[in-house]
């Protein structure tokens, strides 16, 4: 079964790390699959264009983790890689 976007965005599956990102002078904490999915999909695709492959991988792994919490480690790793390359961490 594959999660649809609304299901993924509402997922409360915990990530294996807490990401604290400073955005517009405010710190945003990302702790769940749903929060991460909303964060990386609500920004426009232009903002992620330089990191297109990493972004696509993170979205794909978050969708899988929403269906299967055992995959939250892979989702966390994909997010960490994306955020580091985008200099958000």
> Is the pLDDT at 69 greater than 60, yes or no?
yes
Task: Return mean pLDDT, the chain.
Answer: 91
> Is the pLDDT at 1 greater than 80, yes or no?
no
Q: Residue 72: exposed, middle, or buried by beta-carbon count in 10 A (0-12, 13-18, 19+)?
A: buried
pLDDT band at 2 (very low <50, low <70, confident <90, very high): low
CA 82, 24, 19, 63 torsion: positive or negative? negative
> Is the pLDDT at 36 greater than 60, yes or no?
yes
Segment 37-43 shows an average pLDDT of: 91
- pLDDT of res. 24: 84
């Amino acid at each position: 079964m594959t999660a649809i976007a609304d299901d993924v965005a509402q997922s409360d599956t915990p990530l294996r790390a807490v990401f604290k990102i400073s955005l517009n002078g405010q710190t945003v904490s990302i702790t769940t699959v749903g929060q991460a999915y909303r964060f990386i999909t609500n920004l426009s695709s232009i903002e992620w264009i330089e990191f297109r492959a990493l972004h696509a991988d993170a979205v794909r792994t978050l969708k899988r983790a929403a269906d299967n919490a055992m995959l939250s480690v892979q989702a966390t790793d994909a997010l960490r890689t994306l955020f580091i390359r985008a200099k958000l961490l």
